[in-house]
Amino acid sequence: MQRLCGLADIPDGDAIGVAYRNRCPHLGIELNFMPDVFLDTEQRYIQCANHSALFQIEDGLCVFGPCQGESLVTVAVQLIDEDVWLSAEPDKKD
């Protein structure tokens, strides 16, 4: 497992539920151009910086863009004491 961050680093710390592998299903490349910037301007969707695909935060489903209908790959997260840990392996296949 890999430490992702501290619970205090998450603005809404009680909202830990899901994490996604940083790979767009369209081309299999990273979603973001700038470090730690993943959401659209309205903070409603995860947005791929490459071709602007939009993914629902709650389940990773692409609702707009070239990979519409596909989903981000989830990874397991675990809260241990005050730290959030990321599993090394995705929960499901790409």
Enumerate binding residues for ligand FES (CB under 6 A).
24, 26-27, 29, 48, 50-51, 53, 65-67
Compute the least distance from the CB of residue 21 to ligand FES, in Å. 13
Is the Cβ of residue 45 or residue 84 nearer to ligand FES in the bound state?
A: 45
Compute the least distance from the CB of residue 92 to ligand FES, in Å. 19
| DSSP-assigned beta bridge partners for residue 45 | 56
Is the Cβ of residue 19 or residue 48 nearer to ligand FES in the bound state?
A: 48
Return phi, psi of residue 62, to 5°.
-80, 120
Q: What is the rounded CA–CA span in Å between residue 58 and residue 77? A: 14
Compute the least distance from the CB of residue 70 to ligand FES, in Å. 10
Compute the least distance from the CB of residue 3 to ligand FES, in Å. 27
Is the Cβ of residue 50 or residue 56 nearer to ligand FES in the bound state?
A: 50
